[in-house]
Amino acid sequence: MCGIVGYIGKAQAAPILLDGLSKLEYRGYDSAGIAVYDGEHIVGKKAMGRLKVLSEMTHDGETMPGTVGIGHTRWATHGAPTDENAHPHFNESETIAVVHNGIIENYLKLKKKLIDKGYSFQSETDTEVVAHLLDYYYKGNPLEAITKVMHRVDGSYALGIIFADQPGYVYAVRKDSPLIVGKGKDGNLIASDVPAVLKYTRDVCFIENEEIARLSEDAIEFFNVDGEPIEKTYKTIEWDVNAAEKGGYEHFMLKEMYEQPKTVRDTLSPRLKDNDIVIEELGMTDEEIREISRIRIVACGSAYHTGVTAKYVYEGMARIPVEVDLASEFRYRNPILDEKELVIIISQSGETADSLAALREAKERGNTTMGIVNVVGSSIAREADKVFYTWAGPEIAVATTKAYSAQLIAHYLLAIKFARVRGTITEQEMADYITDLKRLPDQIELLLGNKERIQRFANRYVTAKDVFFIGRGIDYAISLEGSLKLKEISYIHSEAYAAGELKHGTISLIEEGTLVSAVVTQEDLYKKTVSNIVEVRTRGAFVMAVTNEGNTEIEKAADYVVYIPKTNKYFTNSLAIIPLQLFSYYVSVGKGCDVDKPRNLAKSVTVE
């Protein structure tokens, strides 16, 4: 999704803006632009495509002198990805420049009114309305104009604004789209995400909904929507700036896959105390846990897939019924929620628009909500009643790997905790589960060590047209994620099917040489899935099976087998997903795709 950076200070702004935007590239974008005040005017430069086009155009910012500016990477929503539609947008006299993340929902109505008043528009964007509306209200007091605009626009926005006749200030405004300010030594910054400012400061402040920040070279002030001053506190970012860099790996995705043992350890350890599971941060009493009538998991994409796995885990271990919903569906179908239902929203970014809306819907209905979130201080983390942080660190590759793995751990811990409190497992069973959980990081490491074998296999499939992923129970949930990983980064069509469902239509697509990946880790379903393997193989499929160590019999049915170490049946997803991630990664590399930034995708989907 779009990224925002702004700077005011002693240094030249343009190189800092370009550098900050480069740290936001992972969010996905299709054009970029910056605007800098040169001492007399605001000068803007925009370019379609990658940031390097803009860098070349401005000689890395050198041709845009000035110490105040704003910058943007745009992921097109309203209007095609063109130079005209790229941000910043200006008023007609180019004395006000605006960058914007989010969507102005009533922009057509406002645009019509502004055209009636004689304003003309250069772009198809909703953002340009903000620039002209600011112009309309601006009578020399920026704060007054900004608050008037805030009262007129509906929708979501994070805005960075500069005024040519107020060159000592950068303004930042937010509603339902993340925005932070960073307090630097030689200047201050705004950004839509922390990595953009980490090179200059670790002291950041999260702007809340309907708040305004006014930055000068040496001060940052905050105001509410009525323009009244407010006090805010700063947070020190603890994670290392290197965590947001590639650290010698060819791609962020590979680096992040290799971080999974650590991610799993970091998410587990703080919650394991003397063979007990203690999740203090949730502040949930045993009474509250016993009272849960149902768990409703709501999420998007891979986060949703961890929810599908979690259904089997919570229901199996804790005997609590679970419903899993896609956030984009949940919010519009007037869902029937029982008042004792716990609503769990899963989100790496904590900013996914549909997941955030689902959270608000559940809260409005009076349900207790819990966020399983990776980004500290994100909207979902702040708004959920309870937060379970996955300690995966910043995830840069668009395709999630380590955050997915950490989300699984969060579910396992919650399920064991709930099961023990509700008396559906014994103390001994809990101890056994914990022993298996503690083994997972080493087992993941072992599987990652097998990467060359998977790479050789993947190289044979770079020209594949269709791939099918099948499995039953938890193996079906693993297949959903395996399939999404492959298609999103390699652009090869793939589908995941519950293994028993394939013969109800889709099996007609299997032809000589079609690759079918079968996940077979659930021992009680082993024979059933092997029968499904035989069904597709007799129709010409080439079968790759992922199964538990010891199931060597499968070699008679499958063409290529990957073994995963033994673990509890509920935790096999954490292991079986590793070869599938590696497979997708190497197919994508083999095809020469942009692994970390697949086309059309964004890291943080802040529009619905």
Shortest reach from residue 208's CB to ligand F6R, in Å: 20
Alpha carbons 506 and 476: distance in angstroms, whole number: 15
Residue nearest to ligand F6R (CB): 301
Shortest reach from residue 383's CB to ligand F6R, in Å: 14
Based on the shown chain and the rule CB under 6 A, indicate whether residue 301 belongs to the binding site for ligand F6R. yes
Instruction: Please say which residue, 136 or 404, places its beta carbon nearer to ligand F6R.
Output: 404
Based on the shown chain and the rule CB under 6 A, indicate whether residue 355 belongs to the binding site for ligand F6R. yes
Show the binding pattern over residues 302-331: x = contacts ligand F6R (CB under 6 A), - = does not: xx----------------------------
Based on the shown chain and the rule CB under 6 A, indicate whether residue 483 belongs to the binding site for ligand F6R. no
Instruction: Please say which residue, 178 or 301, places its beta carbon nearer to ligand F6R.
Output: 301
Based on the shown chain and the rule CB under 6 A, indicate whether residue 348 belongs to the binding site for ligand F6R. yes
Based on the shown chain and the rule CB under 6 A, indicate whether residue 605 belongs to the binding site for ligand F6R. yes
Based on the shown chain and the rule CB under 6 A, indicate whether residue 349 belongs to the binding site for ligand F6R. yes
Residue 2 annotated as catalytic: yes
CB 492 within 8 A of CB 583: no
Shortest reach from residue 481's CB to ligand F6R, in Å: 8
**Exposure string for 442-461, b = 16+ CB within 10 A, e = fewer:** ebbeebbeebeebbebbeeb
Q: Which of 352, 443, 522, 581 binds ligand F6R (CB under 6 A)?
A: 352
Q: Cite the DSSP H helix spans in 365-464.
A: 379-383, 402-421, 427-448, 451-459
CB proximity list for 36: less than 8 A, separation 6 or greater: 13, 14, 17, 42, 43, 64, 65, 66, 68, 69
Based on the shown chain and the rule CB under 6 A, indicate whether residue 261 belongs to the binding site for ligand F6R. no
Q: Which of 2, 205, 300, 593 is catalytic?
A: 2
Does the bond joining 178 to the residue before it have cis omega, within 30 degrees of 0?
no
Instruction: Please say which residue, 348 or 572, places its beta carbon nearer to ligand F6R.
Output: 348
Show the binding pattern over residues 356-395: x = contacts ligand F6R (CB under 6 A), - = does not: ----------------------------------------
**Exposure string for 318-350, b = 16+ CB within 10 A, e = fewer:** bebebbbbbbbebbeeebebeeebbbbbbbbbb
Q: Which among 78-86, 343-351, 528-536, 578-586 is the span making contact with ligand F6R, rule CB under 6 A?
A: 343-351
Based on the shown chain and the rule CB under 6 A, indicate whether residue 480 belongs to the binding site for ligand F6R. no
Tokens of 431: 């101890």
Based on the shown chain and the rule CB under 6 A, indicate whether residue 201 belongs to the binding site for ligand F6R. no
Backbone angles phi, psi at 428, to 5 degrees: -65, -40
What SS3 state is found at 172? strand
Alpha carbons 271 and 265: distance in angstroms, whole number: 10
Distances in whole angstroms, Cα of residue 596 to Cα of each of 22, 397, 402, 407, 592? 13, 5, 14, 20, 12
Instruction: Please say which residue, 309 or 349, places its beta carbon nearer to ligand F6R.
Output: 349
H or E stretch covering 56:
helix 51-57
Shortest reach from residue 23's CB to ligand F6R, in Å: 18
Q: Which of 135, 256, 488, 535 binds ligand F6R (CB under 6 A)?
A: 488
433 beta partners: none
Interactions with ligand F6R, residue window 94-113 (CB under 6 A)? none
Q: Which among 134-142, 294-302, 382-390, 442-450 is the span making contact with ligand F6R, rule CB under 6 A?
A: 294-302
CB proximity list for 29: less than 8 A, separation 6 or greater: 1, 2, 3, 51, 73, 74, 75, 602
Q: Which among 10-18, 37-45, 345-353, 427-435 is the span making contact with ligand F6R, rule CB under 6 A?
A: 345-353
Q: Which of 123, 177, 347, 369 binds ligand F6R (CB under 6 A)?
A: 347
Shortest reach from residue 69's CB to ligand F6R, in Å: 29
Shortest reach from residue 377's CB to ligand F6R, in Å: 14
Shortest reach from residue 345's CB to ligand F6R, in Å: 8
Shortest reach from residue 605's CB to ligand F6R, in Å: 5
Alpha carbons 165 and 388: distance in angstroms, whole number: 46
Q: Which of 255, 402, 487, 603 is catalytic?
A: 603
| Residue labelled with tokens 């032809």 | 511
Q: Which among 112-120, 190-198, 300-308, 316-324 is the span making contact with ligand F6R, rule CB under 6 A?
A: 300-308
Residue 205 annotated as catalytic: no
Backbone angles phi, psi at 102, to 5 degrees: 115, -165
Q: Please, which contacts does 391-394 make with residues 24 or more away whose CB atoms are closer than 8 Å?
A: 391/263, 391/266, 391/267, 391/270, 392/259, 392/263, 392/266, 392/267, 392/348, 393/239, 393/243, 393/259, 393/263, 393/266, 394/194, 394/195, 394/239, 394/243, 394/244
Q: Give the residue numbers annotated as catalytic, written as ranges.
A: 2, 603
Q: By CB under 6 A, name the binding residues for ligand F6R.
A: 300-303, 347-349, 352, 355, 399-400, 484, 488, 604-605
